[in-house]
Amino acid sequence: MDKINEQEEGYPLRFVNAKESVWMIARAYYKLLSIYLRNKGLQPEEAVK
């Protein structure tokens, strides 16, 4: 499957297992939340109140 993706578009894709993908999604949401809070000038502790 990986070789097909490389040949077709020149963009190699890396497939991860289900356990890794859950943590990748969690890290992405954490990063989005931290960027949002920083733009609003808030600390994480303030957002919970």
Domain segments of the chain: what residues? 16-49
Residue 26 to residue 35: CA distance in whole angstroms:
14
pLDDT value for 36: 92
pLDDT value for 32: 94
- The CA R_g of the chain, rounded to the nearest whole Å, is 17
Residue 37 to residue 44: CA distance in whole angstroms:
7
Distances (CA, A) of 9 to 1, 4, 6, 12, 32: 13, 9, 6, 8, 29
pTM of the predicted model as reported, rounded to 2 decimal places: 0.56
Residues of the chain short of pLDDT 50, as ranges, are none
